[in-house]
Structures are given as structure tokens and as C-alpha cells.
Amino acid sequence: AGARARGRAPPRRYRHEVENDVTSQLDSRLTALVEHGQALRQAMHVEERLPPEARPVGDARGAYQKNMEERHRLRKRRDEKEALLETLSRDLYAKWRELRQIRQEQRFVSTPWRLLAQPEEGDAQADQMRRSR
């Protein structure tokens, strides 16, 4: 029963990840953090141009560093989710191939449903730009 339950888990987890579209949500949040970080960087540069006696305690630098740490954590989380989705996709495809092979061996190929797996070409340049944010 345990192996059977594990066999059903990848499709559910895959569906959950795809329906919730977690990676897109994380990408949107990361984009907002990048924009906020640019504003913080500008504030930090303005603060550094002030004479030493007129400078605040260094709030802009601290806020910028905190923003960078948050971006790092968010990037790491997004990359983990993408890796999980890729693993789930591969597991699901492997299970589909296994089922297809079993059905062909048993000569049981007529069903009311038809499942097709088609490879999709990804845009490597767009992926690289998105990951470099």
C-alpha cells in the first residue's frame, strides 16, 4: 500500500505546483524586490554623497543589505521550487512511460482517453535573464 500511495503522489504534487503557479508568484515577488532594491541603492548613493556630519546613521546601506539578503533567500526558494517541479515532471513522465509499456505488453491499448507527451522547446535566453535577476 505504501508503494502504491507513493506512485500517486507525483501527479498530485505536480498538479498542486502547476495550479498554484508558485514559481510565477515567486518571480513576481522577486521582480518587486529588485525594483525596491534599485530605489534603495539610489538612496544609499545619495546618502554617501552627503558630508559626513549630515549623513544619517547608515539606514540606507542597512536597508539595501537587508533587501539583498531577502532577494537571495527568494531566489533560492524559487530555484528549489523550479527544481521540485522539474523532478515531479520527470517522475510523472517516467510513470507515464512505464504505464504505456505495461499496457503495450498486455495488448491493452484501447481506452476512451488518449495521453500524449510532447516535448516543448524552452526559451533558454529568457530563462537565463529571469534567473539572473
Q: Do residues 23 and 130 lie in contact, with contact meaning Cβ atoms separated by under 8 Å?
A: no
pLDDT of residue 91: 87
Q: For residue range 1-14, what is the model confidence (pLDDT) as tens digits?
A: 444 444 456 667 77
Query: What contacts 24+ positions apart, CB below 8 Å, involve 73-79?
Result: 74/26, 74/29, 74/30, 74/33, 75/30, 75/133, 77/26, 78/23, 78/26, 78/27, 78/30, 79/131
C-alpha distance from residue 22 to each of 77, 79, 97, 124 (Å): 10, 11, 27, 20
Mean pLDDT, 10 residues at a time, the chain of 133 residues = 48 72 78 83 78 68 85 88 87 85 78 68 77 70
